[in-house]
């Protein structure tokens, strides 16, 4: 992903441009980025700016806000870890095997995106409530999901499933089989082929998918609130707290929480971008300074 | 001893790709599989490597039946036309891969691996490129890496599927003699797939001429030219008569 970006920028400075229309397309793109992404964000930061640092700190470090962040981040982490691993598995099954219903499974993966999140939330409640199928089953085992932290984690998992699969899938499809065959003839077992040959190639997309899933889970609202229970200090997520503060006309508090959430998501995405950029560097022919390659990619014995 | 291929057959659906193929490779011998496109050379080589399996017939290596043995247990070094290098590993790590994948008991020490890699890369004349990544190499250099990597596992047999066909003539000739030298130095047997008569004649001890899934004739270059077993062989090697008259190679 980011390799292609850095590749393009390198070309821009050295080679003559071949594709026409660069000025116009870039202009329109930037305009839309400003209107649709940057303007609302700057409104948020303007609100935040009105707030002194002391006030900001007081809001953020209040017990209720901290609890909400703790719940949100921990549940999002859980959802992310699950979706990263599960997404890898799902993509693997879809790309590598032929089985009846494969197309259907492939189409189902996008469902969490297509479904209104509130619908997803209500469906999950119907399933995990005391009277729902899963709820009854789990109640017999003395496990409670609906209206607990687990409910939040499950709702977040549901809405971010596509990220885990769809980021890795195209890369997996483009893997060349002869590379794996070469590894086999060199004596590698299947598990070694995966660990040393396949996974390193998937790594950038894997990281990207995980961080997208995390960012999405942090801000998920519709799917979560129905199943969360929404008990302050226990099962209240950060985006619900924003909503509550807005209802109380406490705009500074709402924007402080929102800004923090946004910052968190941005930091994660930027870190992921840096990580994938590093991982892809050796693939570029022009890559200078290969002597400085980080050794994480070397095949450690 | 060496490798014996007995009666190997393979078909895709109703399309018979290998028809009762017999072949033997003596220890230290260099054999070329020569034939037009689609004659089944790659299929035969992949069956020998264990990447595909035959429907009938037997493969025997040094007296051991390896017909159903997995590729990773055969210890045959393979060099692919497309290089198939590990793009995310340096040249040195590519070369060390086979040794690093060995189970702990039979794996050389870290320094042992390092030394072996250095020796191999020097032999392949790419010692100075050890820290580079494959994307920073030329085609010829990449194929040298692929060769060093295949030799690192001390293979019992070296298999090459048109290793030089993506390279220009000059580099090809250089690599050809480098390959022959390396193979002699290491002293292993090798099978080279090619559709280039000159390449086969120059490098191989014996040549198997293939056509439509059968081996038409298997013998030294001299035998093929003096006594072609079928009109196909005679016709296929027509251009090579002059080659021998000039006294080049062999
Ligand atoms: N996976 C496959 N499915 C069906 N047919 C195949 C498959 N692989 C190869 N074939 C067929 O088997 C025959 C032999 O193919 P093979 O690749 O062994 O030829 P080759 O001698 O290596 O040719 P070339 O010199 O072009 O590489 C061809 O007719 C080809 O169409
Ligand atoms: Mg072929």
Q: Which chain B residues have a beta carbon less than 8 Å from that of A279?
A: 88
Structural domain includes residue A71: yes
Q: Strand B56-61 vs strand B3-12: parallel, antiparallel, or unpaired?
A: antiparallel
The alpha carbon of A6 is separated from its chain's Cα centroid by a whole number of angstroms, namely 22
- Pick from A31-40, B35-44, B103-112, B220-229: least confident: A31-40
Ligand 1 probe mutation, B8, B35, B40, B199, most atoms within 8 A of CB: B40
One domain for residues A36 and A158? no
Q: CB of B22 within 8 A of CB of B6? A: yes
One domain for residues B218 and B97? no
Of B108, B125, B154, the residue at which a domain comes to its end is B154
Contact A201 B90 (CB under 8 A): no
Contact B102/A at CB under 8 A: yes
Rounded Cα distance between A260 and A278, Å, is 27
Contact B96/A at CB under 8 A: yes
Structural domain includes residue B81: no
pLDDT at position A283, please? Answer: 64
Cα-Cα-Cα-Cα dihedral of A90, A96, A100, A102, to 10°? 40
- Among candidates A181, A186, A201 on the partner chain, residue whose Cβ is nearest the Cβ of B101: A186
Cα-Cα-Cα-Cα dihedral of A185, A189, A190, A191, to 10°? -140
Q: How far is the CA of B189 from the centre of ligand 2 (A)?
A: 20
CATH number at residue B18: 3.40.50.300
Contact A299 B97 (CB under 8 A): yes
pLDDT at position A47, please? Answer: 82
Going by C-alpha positions, the residue among B48, B77, B72, B35 that lies closest to residue B179 is: B77
One domain for residues A89 and A229? yes
To the nearest whole percent, how much of chain A has pLDDT over 90? 47
CATH number at residue A167: 1.10.3720.10
Structural domain includes residue A210: yes
Rounded Cα distance between A286 and A280, Å, is 12
Judge whether residue A282 has pLDDT over 80.
no
Rounded Cα distance between A65 and A68, Å, is 5
One domain for residues B249 and B223? yes
Contact B86/A at CB under 8 A: yes
pLDDT at position A91, please? Answer: 95
Q: CB of A177 within 8 A of CB of B80? A: no
Rounded Cα distance between A286 and A266, Å, is 29
Confidence of residue A45 (pLDDT cuts 50, 70, 90): confident
What is the end-to-end Cα distance of chain B in Å, rounded? 24
Structural domain includes residue B4: yes
One domain for residues B22 and B143? no
Domain coverage including residue B104? 86-154
One domain for residues B91 and B164? no
One domain for residues A95 and A17? no
More confident of the two residues A240 and A279: A240
One domain for residues A7 and A103? no
Residue with CA at minimum distance from ligand 1 atom 25:
B37
Contact B116/A at CB under 8 A: no
- Number of domains within chain B: 2
Structural domain includes residue A274: yes
Ranges of beta strands (E only) in chain B are 3-12, 15-25, 30-34, 56-61, 64-65, 76-79, 157-161, 189-194, 206-211, 214-219
One domain for residues A100 and A13? no
pLDDT at position A178, please? Answer: 93
- Number of domains within chain A: 2
One domain for residues A152 and A280? yes
Q: How far is the CA of A286 from the centre of ligand 2 (A)?
A: 32
One domain for residues B52 and B102? no
Structural domain includes residue B80: no
One domain for residues B113 and B50? no
pLDDT at position B231, please? Answer: 92
ipTM metric: 0.91
Judge whether residue B128 has pLDDT over 50.
yes
């Amino acid at each position: 992903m980011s390799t292609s970006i850095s590749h393009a920028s390198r070309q821009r400075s050295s080679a003559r441009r071949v594709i026409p229309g660069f000025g116009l397309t870039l202009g329109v793109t930037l305009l839309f980025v400003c209107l649709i992404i940057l303007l609302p964000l700057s409104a948020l930061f303007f609100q935040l700016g009105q707030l002194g640092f002391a006030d900001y700190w007081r809001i953020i470090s209040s017990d209720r806000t901290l609890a909400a962040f703790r719940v949100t981040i921990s549940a999002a982490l859980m959802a992310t870890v699950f979706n990263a691993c599960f997404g890898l598995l799902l993509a693997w099954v879809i790309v590598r095997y032929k089985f009846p219903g494969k197309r259907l499974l492939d189409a189902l993966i996008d469902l969490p995106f297509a479904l209104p999140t509130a619908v997803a939330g209500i469906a999950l409640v119907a399933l995990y409530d005391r009277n729902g199928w899963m709820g009854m089953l789990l109640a017999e085992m003395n496990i409670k999901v609906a209206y607990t932290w687990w409910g939040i984690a499950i709702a977040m998992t549901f809405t971010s499933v596509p990220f885990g699969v769809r980021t890795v899938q195209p890369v997996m499809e483009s893997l060349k089989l002869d590379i794996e065959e070469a590894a086999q003839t060199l004596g590698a077992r299947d598990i070694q082929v995966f660990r040393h040959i396949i996974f390193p190639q998937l790594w950038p997309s894997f990281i990207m998918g995980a961080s997208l899933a995390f960012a999405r889970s942090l801000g998920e609202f519709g799917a979560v609130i129905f199943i969360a229970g929404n008990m302050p200090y226990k099962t209240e997520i950060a985006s619900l707290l924003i909503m509550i503060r807005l209802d109380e006309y406490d705009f500074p508090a709402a924007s402080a929480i929102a800004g923090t959430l946004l910052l968190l998501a941005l930091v994660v995405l930027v870190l992921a971008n840096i990580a994938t950029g590093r991982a892809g560097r050796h693939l570029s022919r022009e890559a200078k300074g290969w002597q400085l390659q980080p050794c994480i990619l070397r095949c450690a014995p | 001893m060496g490798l014996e291929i007995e009666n190997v057959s393979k078909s895709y659906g109703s399309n018979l790709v290998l028809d009762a193929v017999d072949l033997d490779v003596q220890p230290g011998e260099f054999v070329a599989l020569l034939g037009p496109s689609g004659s089944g050379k790659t299929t035969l080589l992949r069956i020998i490597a264990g990447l595909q399996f035959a429907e009938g017939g037997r493969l025997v290596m040094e007296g051991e039946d390896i017909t159903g043995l997995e590729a990773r247990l055969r210890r045959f070094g393979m060099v692919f036309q497309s290089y198939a290098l590990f793009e995310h590993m340096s040249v040195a790590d590519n070369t060390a891969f086979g040794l690093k994948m060995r189970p702990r008991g039979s794996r050389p020490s870290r320094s042992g691996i390092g030394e072996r890699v250095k020796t191999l890369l020097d032999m392949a004349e790419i010692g100075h490129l050890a820290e580079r990544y494959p994307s920073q190499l030329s085609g010829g250099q990449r194929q040298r890496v692929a060769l060093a990597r295949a030799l690192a596992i001390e293979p019992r047999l070296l298999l090459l599927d048109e290793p030089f066909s993506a390279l220009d003539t000059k580099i090809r000739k250089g690599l050809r003699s480098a390959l022959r030298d390396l193979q002699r130095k290491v002293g292993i047997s090798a099978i080279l797939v090619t559709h280039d008569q000159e390449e086969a004649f120059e490098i191989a001890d014996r040549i198997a001429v293939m056509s439509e899934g059968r081996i038409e004739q298997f013998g030294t270059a001299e035998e093929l030219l003096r006594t072609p077993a079928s009109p196909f062989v005679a016709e296929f090697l027509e251009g090579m008569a002059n080659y021998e008259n000039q006294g080049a190679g062999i």
